[in-house]
Structure 1
Amino acid sequence: MNLPLHVLLVMDNAPAHPPDLQDDLLEEFKFIKIQFLPPNTTLLLQPLDKQVISKFKKLYTKALFERCFEVTEATNLTLKEFRKYHFHIVACLKMIEKAWEGVTKRTLTSAWKKLWPESIVEHDFEGYEIAPVEPVVNKIVSLAKIMGLEVDNNDIDELVEEQSQELTTEELMELHCVSQQEVVEESLSEEEEEEVTAKQQSSGAIREMLKAWETVASYIEKHHPNKAVDMCATNLFNDNAVSHFHQILKHRQKQMSLDSYLVKKI
């Protein structure tokens, strides 16, 4: 319509937002007008809180369950293994993108209807209501049951409701500490399992196996017609299997040296 470009950026009154943000805008962005909401009115005024965030969270949960189902169904991984090896930042960002794309213009328009009806042309929102999210919730519940989880519609609603408030800095730091502790405990648990397994193997048996492997590798290297294939296969086996047993012996040698040193000191 050949109108000049004007943008109104409405922001909540969070302390993280610089109050002089408007003055800090570069000259090329002066067409943007920043309007902060009054303090303690976010829940009443912020349009995104009018079911938009709720729908986004349900769409994100649906994307998460779909991804979880795809991975576990194709690989027979457990849910714990999925969380450990496949639930990372990049995967989360992709699911966030997918979920946000699922939030329709109709939903966003409805969010502004009660707050600022004059900003929307009448026929743009007349008769608009928030699109029902029950099909999304039903899909989540269906996927959960396929994966053997006891989940119903109320569980999904409670999950979204529990996350309705933004976390404080202290709560985020506490969650980070808990997460770090879980990583440490899980790492220690794995090391203990490996140590128990290693203790079941004597150093003599491991050396005997390694010597046998050297004999086999030497024979293959000498008689295999394709040197490239021989080298590739030997290196692959060394890196993925034999190195584990070398590490066991190396660790035991270090431990023996340390024990010997401590005994001498005492």
Structure 2
Amino acid sequence: MKLKPLLVYHSENPRALKGYAKSSLPVIWHSNKKAWMIMTLFQDWFTNYFCPAVERYNAKRNISNKALLLLDNAPSHPVNLNDLLDNVRVEYRYIPKNTTSLLQPMDQGVIANFKAYYLRNTFLQLIKAIDGEDKPTIRDFWKKFNILDAVDNIAESWDEVKTSAMNGSWKNIWPECVHEFQGFSQAESLQKVQQGIVTLANNIGFEEVVENDVVKLLESHREDLTNEDLMMEQERELQDKRRI
């Protein structure tokens, strides 16, 4: 089962989405000023999207409406989710620092592949935009690239992530739950996409781009705020609300 991606943006009504109904977007749209996932958004996603989506999926296949949701210790994950519904069990697991890519199934191929597809599709958009005479420059393309372009890329890239990739991600950490595994190689697939990105980058005119550059770019999200930083920031926001 592939859930619709959730996107958290810093603006509720960006100019690029004028005239678009957010319910028709290929993502679940949420916003806050920091563009971060926070507890209230996560609980809204859990109760109003995740649980109903699981129920529809199970009903369509005539199977018992039960689900297990595994979460790490991110500060945006509410601890009371098990109190909300009886048919969904939530298990919280402490993940030691800097081990997410080793211990989390979604990081073991699914997220990595999605990010690689997204980067490749963005480069394809760029090539299409600047191809031919009287076309915009690369700088002009990036200036005009907006959240709607990003949403389109998210949808296309998420569609490219195969169910076999999602299934195979669990093979190392929970082999009993993987059925009909066809020997899908996450590493081989990702490497091919990365090599394709290198070719596209060089065709665009980015000089001497090598595969290691692409790998570093795709892994740059790991330099984001730590859980401790997020917890401190959320505590400051709560204090600000109390003052108001």
Structure 1 residue 2: Cα displacement: 4.0
- The one of 101, 119, 141 aligned to 2:159: 101
Q: Which residue of 1 is the match for residue 211 of structure 2?
A: 153
Percent sequence identity over matched residues? 34
Q: Which residue of 2 is the match for residue 203 of structure 1?
A: none
Runs of at least 5 residues in structure 2 that lack an aligned partner in the other structure: 1-60, 231-244
Count of matched residue positions in the alignment of Structure 1 and Structure 2: 165
Superposed, 1:130-209 pairs within 5 Å as 130=186, 131-150=188-207, 151-168=209-226
**d(CA) in 2 for partners of 1:133 and 1:39?**
24
- The one of 37, 59, 67 aligned to 2:93: 37
Say whether the 8 Å CA contact 2:75–2:227 is kept in structure 1.
Answer: no
Structure 1 residue 68: Cα displacement: 1.0
Say whether the 8 Å CA contact 1:9–1:34 is kept in structure 2.
Answer: yes
- The one of 107, 128, 131 aligned to 2:184: 128
Superposed, 1:249-264 pairs within 5 Å as none
Distance 1:111 1:165, change over 3 A: farther
- The one of 172, 177, 190 aligned to 1:114: 172
Say whether the 8 Å CA contact 1:12–1:37 is kept in structure 2.
Answer: yes
> TM-score, with normalisation over the residues of structure 1?
0.55
1:80 and 2:139 correspond: yes
Q: Which residue of 2 is the match for residue 186 of structure 1?
A: none
Distance 1:166 1:32, change over 3 A: farther
Structure 1 residue 90: Cα displacement: 1.1
Higher relative contact order (CA 8 A, sep 6+): 2
Which one is further off, 91-100 or 2-11?
Answer: 2-11
**Relative to total residues, which structure has the larger helix share, 1 or 2?**
1
> TM-score, with normalisation over the residues of structure 2?
0.60
Structure 1 residue 39: Cα displacement: 4.4
- The one of 82, 101, 114 aligned to 1:22: 82
Q: Which secondary structure does the structure 1 equivalent of 2:65 belong to? A: coil
Runs of at least 5 residues in structure 1 that lack an aligned partner in the other structure: 173-266
Distance 1:163 1:83, change over 3 A: same
Structure 1 residue 64: Cα displacement: 0.7
Letter in 2 for 1:117: P
Computing the radius of gyration from Cα coordinates, the structure with the larger value is: 1
Distance 1:165 1:54, change over 3 A: farther
CA offsets 1:177-211 (integer angstroms, 9 cap, x no match): xxxxxxxxxxxxxxxxxxxxxxxxxxxxxxxxxxx
Q: Which secondary structure does the structure 2 equivalent of 1:101 belong to? A: helix
